[in-house]
Chains A and B, each alone.
Chain A
Amino acid sequence: MDLLEYQGKQLFMKHGVPVPDGRHAASVREAVEAAEELGFPVVIKAQVQIGGRGKAGGIKLANDRDEAEQHASAILGMDIRGFTVHELYVERASDIDEEYYAAIVFDRSAKKPMAMLSRMGGMDVEEVAEKDPEAMRMLHVDALIGFQEFQGRRLAFESGIAGDVIRPVGAMLAKLYDVFVREDATLVEVNPLLITKKREVVALDAKVTVDANALFRHPDIAELRDVSAEDPQERMAKERGLTYVKLDGNVGILGNGAGLVMSTLDVVAAAGGKPANFLDAGGGSKAEAITSAVEVILSDDKVSAVLFNIFGGITRCDEVARGLIEAFRQIEPDVPFVVRLDGTNDKEGRALLAEASLPNVHTEATMLGAAEKVVELAG
């Protein structure tokens, strides 16, 4: 779960990471009030889960009330690389002396947390890595011992940052590691990590990703989930306990098991089709779950044909067939379905479908045959 900047900063404050004073605003009026409360100059920042906000015009300095109003109304509703701005963060402007980069990431390859520091901040990390790969210093942290002070000092010395901020930057890294562990984050990134004219170390931005599997330990973060920003089909699927990812094609897909569904998308694409979604109905899917999944798939208007690709292990093909029959009774879909049932109780499932003789439902024996058929029908 990716947090917005202001949500990340709330976690930072909880763990003693210094951030500039700021207020959240969801309207122009709220933004202007926040600005006046904070005192000018302020920075008005678009809150979207994507980088490059500054370049896109989503971050503006306001020196007075008029400017605050003007910028807030320009930024709200703005589209930043496909994300619409619904929220703002109004922050007291900082005196910038230097900009560094700091992050705690989860290195999947080493299976260890990794701390990173660079004296070149305020720009795209990948850009930094390209310009000067030596500028990014990193080291692994032992998950059982945790981040040690010497590691903070070592990164600070190696990265070549100014001598007077070596200790406070090291301490900042230790605090970011605290956020990483105690909030079950898989990413804590600060870009830029600011050194003010008074030589204070401040987190000017916050990019935090929290492990969705750990939300049971963080009810406060779970509540932050912004349902209004989610895709309507994805929200509907989530409410029904289905694993669904919206894609941009026209072939609706339902399968059981994440790997098999991913494979189904690939096979449909190889046959020349464009999948509309990823939908894993899960292991042991009962008829009701199948009916519910069909509703989610068909709520996407672009879908012009649907493929069911089931390999029954724990899932029983007759249950899947019953779910599809029930879905037809309830929703009366007007698009063709291609159904491939294999594995546990496949014969029973196919017999049920044959008996029901649903309009425009085609059964196929193999995954590849089913993919070709659905692509042909989707047009």
Chain B
Amino acid sequence: MAILVDNETRLCVSGITGREGTFHSLRNRDYGTQVVAGVTPGKGGQDVDGIPVFNTFHDAVSEAGANTAMIFVPPRFAADSILEAEDAGIELVIAITEGIPAHDELRVYTHLRRGNTRLIGPNCPGILSPGKANVGIIPAQFFKEGNVGLVSRSGTLTYQIGNELAQRGFGNSSIVGIGGDPVPGSSFIDVIELFEADPETELIVMCGEIGGSSEEEAAEYIGEHVSKPVLAYIAGFTAPPGKTMGHAGAIVSGSKGTAAAKAEALEASGVRVGRNPTQVAEIAVEIIGARA
């Protein structure tokens, strides 16, 4: 088992004919993901290395049986593309695009929450279920199948922590990047809920950062609803207030959104918080034992 993406995933990539879109779609296919379609308006009928391109998501669903969408188009077109995928009946949309206006994200989020489509991202590295499917830009070579579910607001930090875990023998059920924007389509809670229900996942590692209050909300949820051990890392203890640290959502506003407050809330819910990526892996060993 894994969560969100697996052998059943039939991926359609919006923006497949762009440079980045083509590169990552083919990498995802090489990994074994079923990339069944692409969407680029006006390029219907063409193909990208054998992957058929359609004008609309509706065609991709009816003709290629797509059930998952990946969004790779530039920020100004991204909200429209997510809404099109939803309208075509796709129930899982993974948006890699960075730089989507917050108000667009707000409208998309509000609309999607009223229906059945789940959005992961935007501004995220995607989802990897080792051995099954890779949707996005996560470098799969560092990860193998295993029992640690990883959910993160950051890309490279996920690779760093994932690699520290891998060096101690741990593999992953799934790795989910929820993205660094102020209005993520899915929160820590949404993903932790899935890991809690996934029989393969034994340990949940969450990787948060400054800004907003999603870690605090996750802490409360974990305290009440999660039976599996959860381990956390928070980046940005030294970030000055009022400065956006790379990710649009990574900002301490006044006294709100600090790393210290997040770590404190998590620890109060029984979540152990590693002070650096290496320590996260060491605590993982303490919790579920070393893996050969």
Nearest chain A CB to B269's CB is how many angstroms away?
17
Asked if residues A283 and B137 are in contact (CB atoms below 8 Å), the reply is yes
- Interface segment, A59-67, A90-98, A108-116? A108-116
| Contact digits for B99-120, partner A, Cβ 8 Å, 1 yes 0 no | 1111110110111000000000
A263 with B277: in contact, given A258-B154, A269-B237 (CB under 8 Å)? Answer: yes
Indicate if the CB atoms of A278 and B156 lie closer than 8 Å. no
Q: Tell me if B289 is interfacial: C-beta within 8 Å of chain A.
A: no
B139 CB to closest chain A CB (Å) equals 4
Nearest-neighbor residue (CB-CB) of A274 within chain B: B238
Contact B239 A259 (CB under 8 A): no
Chain A interface SS verdict (over half): mixed
A3 to chain B, nearest CB (A): 15
Q: Is the CB of B238 within 8 A of A269?
A: yes
A7 within 8 A of B: no
**Are A257 and B154 in contact, CB atoms less than 8 angstroms apart?**
yes
Interface centre among B101, B107, B110, B243 (most CB of A within 10 A): B101
> What per-residue 1/0 map shows which CB atoms of B196-214 lie under 8 Å from chain A?
0000000000010111111
Tell whether, in the assembled complex, residue B158 and residue A109 are in contact, meaning their CB atoms are under 8 Å apart.
no
Cβ B235 vs Cβ A257 within 8 A: no
Q: How far is the CA of A343 from the CA of B248 in the complex (A)?
A: 26
- Interface contact B110-A255, CB-CB below 8 Å: no
Within 8 Å CB of A27, what residues of B? none
Name the residue of chain B whose CB is nearest to the CB of A109. B213
In the bound complex, how far is the Cα of B274 from the Cα of A267, in angstroms?
Answer: 12
Assess the B102–A266 pair: CB atoms within 8 A. no
Within 8 A of B (CB), among A259-285: 259-263, 265-267, 269-270, 275, 278, 280, 283
0/1 interface trace, chain A 364-377, chain B, CB 8 Å (1 if under): 00111000000000
B160 at interface by CB-CB < 8 Å = yes
Partner of B103, one of A109, A184, A212: A184
A313-B106 CB under 8 A given contacts A262-B209, A262-B210: no
Q: Which of B110, B182, B243, B254 is A245 in contact with, Cβ under 8 Å?
A: B243
B65 within 8 Å of A by Cβ?
no
| A interface list, Cβ under 8 A from B | 106, 108-109, 111-113, 126, 142-144, 181, 184, 186, 211-214, 216-217, 243, 245, 247, 255-263, 265-267, 269-270, 275, 278, 280, 283, 311-315, 342-344, 366-368
* 30 contacts across the A-B interface (CB closer than 8 A): A106-B102, A106-B182, A108-B212, A111-B109, A112-B110, A143-B109, A186-B102, A213-B101, A245-B240, A258-B209, A258-B250, A259-B207, A260-B156, A262-B209, A262-B239, A262-B246, A263-B233, A263-B276, A266-B237, A267-B276, A278-B239, A283-B156, A311-B159, A313-B125, A313-B138, A313-B159, A342-B160, A343-B159, A367-B160, A367-B277
